[in-house]
């Protein structure tokens, strides 16, 4: 069975180049990437095709640290990023989702940034990658939760972009 990808869009009141910069430069990522209330104590980014982002997130409340990895596949500045994402550990290994063993080990994310009405239309398309039928179904079943999580994350991104544009 084929499941539709998770898609979320948001109009951001910021120039596309600025949105690109905060998505592609290590000094910006800890200010917005991750669930609302989380922090990013570790961020190592090599932003190029074949490069990676290795990061840790301290979850809200500070009692759980998660590691993640992006394997960057495609970069078309300032409009498109394609990457494979997975949970990780401090040694850059591939790990499983700590909450759900049926979550896909790998996901494929395509982010596009389109100039629109003086701002930027952010669009994320996310899908299970190299996944079993059960993993694909689990990912599809998680779309509502992902919408909630990404909506909060994009709220943080909007706040950070506004801060950067404040004279």
Q: What is the pLDDT of residue 167?
A: 86
Alpha carbon distances (Å) from 65 to 16, 46, 58, 68, 69: 31, 22, 4, 10, 14
**Which tokens belong to 49?**
């095709």
Bond into 160 cis (ω within 30): no
In the chain, the domains with their CATH numbers are 6-165 (3.30.530.20)
Residues 75-120: tens digit of each pLDDT: 999 999 999 999 999 999 999 999 999 999 999 999 999 999 999 9
Run of H or E including 165: helix 143-165
Chain centroid to CA 162: how far?
19
Consecutive sets of 10 residues in the chain, 167 residues long: mean pLDDT of each? 94 98 97 91 98 95 91 98 98 95 97 97 98 97 94 95 95
Read off the pTM. Answer: 0.93
């Amino acid at each position: 069975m084929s499941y539709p990808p998770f898609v979320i869009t948001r109009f951001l009141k910021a120039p596309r180049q600025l949105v690109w910069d905060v998505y592609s430069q290590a000094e910006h990522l800890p200010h917005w990437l991750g669930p609302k209330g989380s922090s990013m104590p570790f961020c190592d980014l090599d932003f190029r095709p074949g490069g990676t982002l290795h990061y840790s997130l301290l979850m809200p409340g500070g009692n759980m640290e998660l590691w993640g990895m992006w394997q960057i596949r495609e970069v078309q500045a300032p409009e498109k990023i394609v990457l494979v994402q997975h949970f990780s550990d401090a040694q850059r290994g591939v790990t499983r989702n700590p909450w759900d063993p049926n979550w896909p080990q790998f996901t494929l994310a395509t982010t596009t940034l389109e100039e629109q009405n003086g701002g930027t239309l952010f669009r994320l398309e996310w899908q299970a990658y190299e996944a079993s039928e059960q993993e694909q179904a689990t990912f599809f079943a998680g779309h509502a939760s992902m919408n909630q999580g990404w909506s909060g994350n994009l709220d943080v991104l909007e706040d950070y972009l506004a801060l950067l544009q404040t004279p």
